Structure 1
């Protein structure tokens, strides 16, 4: 059987179980290029009627799926949309490569946080890693992340996707774990869900004043305290959130750029983050904000 036919057959089977699917290339990326110019914004197939939106093309309709695969005769796999539907799929992608073992990291995290990982649908990746499938609460938007829970632990939530079992990539095939005898997707443990969600925004009682150079303001002090109070397991998440807010204030001239990085890194190191890791997180936040 050709890679294309194999991918289509498996995609249709997944769709029959209620999962939205779309074609992937052997590189695990969407197989249909965008029909739009670079600056065009379109949410997906339903909005414009054309394929080429990645996870925005995901469907459970066999006719739509076949039409998409007809436009992607080079497809060797399929993606499964996460974060959509009445019981949104949440994927935990555990890498095992380059000296990192995401499986062991998740087990240690579960032990520290006091939750048990249920025997849910598990997919084996060609590199030796695992994809764990969970359902999230209806109406909850789980953000995608890479390495924020721990080394080798990535999260696929709203507008993210997982490579479906049966897909063939350059390194091999994605397969259901042999221990899975009943394909039941279990609800995500509450403690794990809380770790995936962004931290609550700190509340400021007064409007932000325009920043006066050389004068340390309440804004940065509040963000520093927010990071310094971070519980274990949420330190990097809080740092990234606070750094994004701080760089936004720098961009709007409410804060001086020279004060932000050192203050937040110092607070993060004080609660147990490594200095280099904290610096990388603050730098990533600055790039995201464009300050």
Structure 2
């Protein structure tokens, strides 16, 4: 590994430990911004039980590895000496962090879109931590209520605005990626994440679930395990996990009853609803005649 990579790893660890001192749980990231440690269960894709969230005691469970304990963080980085950055898990106490990711890759002015939402829904964005991304975007850090779960979403609020909530993470300032370094905006590094305005928080939450037929039975344990499997998906794995879970559901004859719950779970992770429905429909076609 090159000297510059060793230096990047050392700096990333130092920044991660500093973030942990502020109550932010962290994990090591690679230059691709993905968790640096691969899943220890990657060679067992046919497991049908609930996905492991670190109960096995090994590293490699993404945000479920996140910690504020200095010793554990050092162990995580020691297991991933190629890490050049760190991720900050969202939704965890004490801050219950919510990330507003203002992207620039879509060709739209996401900052202007957020200001328009603020005017329309009459809220003011508070002074808070702002992280500048190598692509010219910004991450706004906000804190949420302890009893509210904000889901991840991509473009649902407005084009170019992604939300990092429970089960997601933000690339921490000081991280070095393949495209450059993430840095705190001047004057914001030592701020505490400001409370999310109530009007904005309402926009971040999913719409109320439609009322279900009270006579319809709830998913059985196998169906619940498949839904949890989809809910645990991270970016880059959401569609494949949904397709795998939907195939297992249809093969076991519970596909029609479970389809809506699988779509809802995928949307919660940030997959667009139309894409989730298309994936479930594809699984139904793929498994036709097998159940």
| Whole-angstrom CA distance in 2 between matches of 1:78 and 1:150 | 27
- Normalising by structure 1, report the TM-score: 0.71
Aligned match of 2:184 in 176, 187, 208? 176
Aligned match of 1:42 in 33, 49, 52? 52
Is 1:72 matched up with 2:75?
no
Is 1:31 matched up with 2:22?
no
TM-superposition CA deviations, 1:119-149 (whole Å, max 9, x none): 1111000000000101110121111000000
Map 1:132-151; keep pairs closer than 5 Å.
Answer: 132-151=140-159
User: Which residue in the other structure is 1:128 paired with?
Assistant: 136
Contact 2:128 2:194 in 1 (8 A): yes
* Residue 181 of structure 1: how far off its partner (Å): 6.2
Aligned match of 1:14 in 9, 19, 30? 19
| Whole-angstrom CA distance in 2 between matches of 1:12 and 1:113 | 38
Map 1:82-93; keep pairs closer than 5 Å.
Answer: 82-93=90-101
SS of the residue corresponding to residue 174 of structure 2 reads coil
Map 1:139-218; keep pairs closer than 5 Å.
Answer: 139-180=147-188, 182-203=190-211, 207=215
Is 1:96 matched up with 2:88?
no
Map 1:213-228; keep pairs closer than 5 Å.
Answer: none
Is 1:287 matched up with 2:279?
yes
Contact 2:100 2:140 in 1 (8 A): yes
- Normalising by structure 2, report the TM-score: 0.71
Q: CA RMSD in A?
A: 2.6
Aligned match of 1:114 in 116, 119, 122? 122
SS of the residue corresponding to residue 115 of structure 2 reads helix
TM-superposition CA deviations, 1:243-277 (whole Å, max 9, x none): xxxxx9x9538xxxxxxxxxxxxxxxxxxxxxxxx
In terms of Rg, which structure is larger? 1
**Which structure 1 residue ranges, 5 or more long, are not aligned?**
209-247, 254-279
* Residue 281 of structure 1: how far off its partner (Å): 4.2
SS of the residue corresponding to residue 252 of structure 1 reads helix
* Residue 18 of structure 1: how far off its partner (Å): 0.5
User: Which residue in the other structure is 1:267 paired with?
Assistant: none
User: Which residue in the other structure is 1:271 paired with?
Assistant: none
* Residue 182 of structure 1: how far off its partner (Å): 4.1
Contact 2:130 2:138 in 1 (8 A): yes
| Whole-angstrom CA distance in 1 between matches of 2:13 and 2:193 | 22
User: Which residue in the other structure is 1:57 paired with?
Assistant: 65
| Whole-angstrom CA distance in 1 between matches of 2:197 and 2:130 | 15
